[in-house]
Chains A and B, each alone.
Chain A
Amino acid sequence: MITLHWLYALAGAMFAVVALLSALDKANGKRLGNAAFWGLMALSLLGGDMIGNFGNGLLVLGLAGLAGFGFIGRSHPPTTSVEEREAWSGKLGNKLFLPALIIPVTALIGTLAYNYTPVGSLGWIEPKRETYVFLALGVLLALATIFMWLRPPALAPAQEGRRLLDAIGWAAVLPQMLAALGVLFAAAGVGEIIGTVTRSVIPEGSVFLTILVFAVGMALFTIIMGNAFAAFPVMAAAIGVPLLIQGYGGDPAVVGAVGMLAGFCGTLMTPMAANFNIVPAALLELKDQYGVIRAQVGTALPLLLVNVLILYLAAFR
């Protein structure tokens, strides 16, 4: 049976190659930091089950330390020049979009086929994880297609992947850290505490008010922190899971998906999300650094209301 461990091995191999190439990249002053950071990610994916819980904890402390104290930096792996890219783009036309399309199409068709044809009953894949398995298959198919079509150098996928991964930096690991933080919150009983407090404030049985507090809370926490990812484990532990899902029997898929999107409405309204709201104002040389946010509030507020309604109508069908 194909399990998640196959995928961990694939991703782990990628991080290991990136770590190795980082270590050899003499042009990058922080090459050893980058190598250590991606190397720890490789170790986690390839050997996380063998180093014990405390070992994993030390690994996470290592990642946080390398990222938090500035030991990792952006690299400039060999790639094509802007002129070469223009030439390729002119030559290849819109067909360039097609290899990228292979990934979602493979994942979608694979998942549907696995769930709605007899193939699924053969039990080849770990249950509920088939989409990720087909995602990985799609990636491999896309890589094979690009190699047959464009014949790039053998190391190109690794170097181009490293270029993008280093551009993202520690932010690539943050969602996983936040999920782990959510587990800590749950273990320490944070959800129970806020759930109890909220229950004593919101009238018993008022589903709509609870949804309102959940969605607006997601948006507010996101506005303060600038990051809906960070707000989600908090609000899930506090209201989403104990009240909406367990208390009132809401559909967890709707509560999760739409709750996150309510947070995204907050992202549109906060200077804390500098990359999206402040940096573009500077890029476009706006006189008012909050100009982009001002242009977004009129979309964000009605959209937040719509998300409240979607939660109310869809999660409690």
Chain B
Amino acid sequence: MNYWPLLGIALVVIGFALKFNPMLVVTVAAIVTGLLGGMDFVEVISTFGKAFNDNRIIAIVWIVLPVIGLLERHGLQQRAATLIRSLKNASTGKLLILYLLYRQVTAAIGLHSTAGHPQTVRPLVAPMALAAAERQHGKLDEATEEKVKAYSAATDNVGLFFGEDIFFAIGSIVLIQQTLATYGYNLAPLELALWAIPSAIAAFVIHGTRLVLFDRRLAK
């Protein structure tokens, strides 16, 4: 058997690890894989071009951007901030659990851009979590302060990653659909989004439990 096409995978791994521009890494890996798989250069470029053309549906998800942009123009992010600020009387753990829920639910309906590290975590969630921790615990030592901030950022990531795939019009869902279509499995996007729900619930339970435990340690 000809094992050389595996070099294409190695190129992707090395290219991403060395932080070359991913668009270039993918292009080079595709060309090398095709050449090693026995195609000539024109054939490789044609196959790559045809594959890109066959996968244009992935670009369709961006038609939501004008809507999101218009809402941002009218204060969508400021509104999200107000909503998060209204949680200010909760304890650290409770605040972060509510933020986790907010992040998962809004990501699941396609509003992942209303929150994020620069938009909400740094200006709102982290300061509010710190203030709540001081109410619970008194003055915080440096290690605890670090931990509260780190948990704030972590909560944002967990909420985003395990909420966004429930929204079917997102790059990852269409990528899964198109990759499997290559092998003849034609799935509907809602089927894939549906199977993101069990993991989303598990993420909420696992991370939520850790936040409850964190809260108890703070209250001591």
Contact = CB atoms under 8 A, between A and B. Distances in A.
A32 B175 CA distance: 29
Say which size band chain A's interface belongs to: 35 or more
Contacts, number: 464
A153 B153 CA distance: 37
B138 interface: no
Given A67-B21, A184-B33, A229-B171, A314 B65 contact: no
B82 A54 contact: no
B219 interface: no
Interface string A64-89: 10011100000000011010111111
Given A48-B56, A179-B179, A132 B66 contact: no
Contacts of A16: none
Nearest to A8: B56
A247 interface: no
The CB with the most chain B CB atoms within 10 A, among A10, A272, A280, is that of: A280
In this complex, the member of A221, A226, A261 whose beta carbon has the largest number of chain B beta carbons within 10 angstroms is: A261
Given A11-B60, A128-B188, A152-B74, 7 more contacts: A57-B44, A85-B74, A132-B169, A146-B70, A185-B8, A185-B33, A303-B162
Interface string A244-273: 011000001110111111001001100010
A236 B179 contact: yes
Name the residue in B3, B57, B67, B118 with the highest tally of chain A Cβ atoms < 10 Å from its Cβ: B67
B23 A80 contact: no
Interface string B183-203: 101111111111110110011
B125 to A, nearest CB: 10
Contacts of B192: 253, 256-257
A172 B174 CA distance: 13
Contacts of B171: 175, 229
B118 A229 contact: no
25 contacts: A56-B49, A56-B52, A57-B46, A85-B77, A86-B75, A88-B75, A89-B78, A99-B71, A156-B70, A165-B65, A172-B62, A175-B58, A178-B26, A180-B48, A188-B34, A189-B5, A224-B16, A230-B26, A233-B175, A236-B179, A291-B147, A296-B158, A299-B154, A303-B199, A306-B206
B23 A63 contact: yes
Interface in A152-189: 152, 156-161, 163-165, 170-189
A176 B55 contact: yes
A292 B150 contact: yes
B180 A103 contact: no
Given A143-B70, A188-B36, A295 B179 contact: no
Contact of A45 (B56, B65, B168, B188): B56
Contacts of B98: none
Contact of A228 (B63, B156, B172): B172
A280 B154 CA distance: 9
Contact of A180 (B51, B61, B158, B193): B51
Interface stretch (A22-30, A116-124, A134-142, A202-210): A134-142
B60 to A, nearest CB: 5
Contacts of A19: none
A2 interface: no
A241 B176 CA distance: 12
B133 interface: no
Given A193-B6, A224-B13, A253 B187 contact: yes
Given A45-B59, A260-B176, A160 B150 contact: no
A303 B208 CA distance: 12
A103 to B, nearest CB: 6
Nearest to A175: B171
A173 B49 contact: no
A119 B156 CA distance: 41
Given A107-B169, A233-B179, A260-B176, A306 B12 contact: no
A102 B206 CA distance: 31
A212 interface: no
A158 B175 contact: no
Contacts of B61: 135
